[in-house]
Amino acid sequence: MDRLDFCIVGAMKAATTTLASLLASHPGVVMAEPKEPGYFSRDERYARGLEWYRSHFRDADGALVGEASTCYSRRVPFPHAASRLAAFSPGVKLIYVLRHPADRAIAHYVHEMRLRFRDGKPVIGFEECCGADPAVLSASEYEKEIDHLLASFPRDQLLLLRFEDLISEQNRVFGEVQSWLGLERVDTDAAWENRAMDKARSHEVDRRVEGVTKNPAVRALRAVLPASVRSSGRRWLKRLLAKSGGVEREIEAFEASLDRPTGDRRRALVERYAPTVAAVGAMTGWDLSDWRQ
């Protein structure tokens, strides 16, 4: 694999996983596995070299080669991603899905809190999260992110889409993407699906399983059991915990504890992004009245 034909570069929390899955199902496309290698953005991965990156792709056999790393569009904290990508594959086509800026920032915050929940860390408030990670807010400043991308790529290599259109008119938008990439049109019956709660449930089950297996008595028992028995026991424990009401109650309590801005706080966030909405509207001609609410 010596080139990348296309890349979904953003935005984070804007149905890029759905779009990547749709493209992966197309017979004329080979996508990276896993979906988001983040090679060009994260220094420790970039240092592993191109052979490590190429290992994420199977043989293309004439198909288009693509991946989806939303971090590539984020100038904060990944200022070198776009230029690195351009150096590797200057002709790559970029797909950038834009979502209501305030809604995307709030979803970004929820995502970060779910990572903390997975790691057993306490939830923090929205403003505290934004202070700790400026990208929660800056990743919704689309006009700045686009300018950053266009410093490394010509405008005709960048396709802008609306998240709201992708989830409400999936076949039409997917058809637009296929046409832009030069692919034969393939419709899909798959629906947009937010799998965040499933991931939270899975992470909580895994966390509880780890807690059980670290118990000294359990560790001593596992040490004398065959590997096949240990593996079967772990699978049984995961199924048992997944069905328990305790996991559901834990997740529900966690979700209820999140500091999602509402009322005046949300209106202030919407107002913060008024310049972004105006700039994107001027750039695309889209009706963005829903982004002003």
Over residues 65-91, the pLDDT tens digits come to: 999 999 999 999 999 999 999 999 999
* Long-range contacts of the stretch 169-175 (C-beta < 8 A, 24+): 170/18, 170/22, 174/19, 174/22
Q: Residue 66: which of 9, 115, 113 has the closest Cα?
A: 9
- Distance CA(122)–CA(54), nearest Å, equals 37
To 10 degrees, what angle do helices 245-257 and 196-213 make?
Answer: 120
**pLDDT tens string 109-163:** 999 999 998 888 999 999 999 999 999 999 999 999 999 999 999 999 999 999 9
pTM of the predicted model, to two decimals? 0.83
Q: What residue ranges define each of the domains in the chain, with the CATH number in brackets?
A: 6-194+263-292 (3.40.50.300), 196-257 (no CATH)
Q: Which residue has the tokens 């034969």?
A: 184
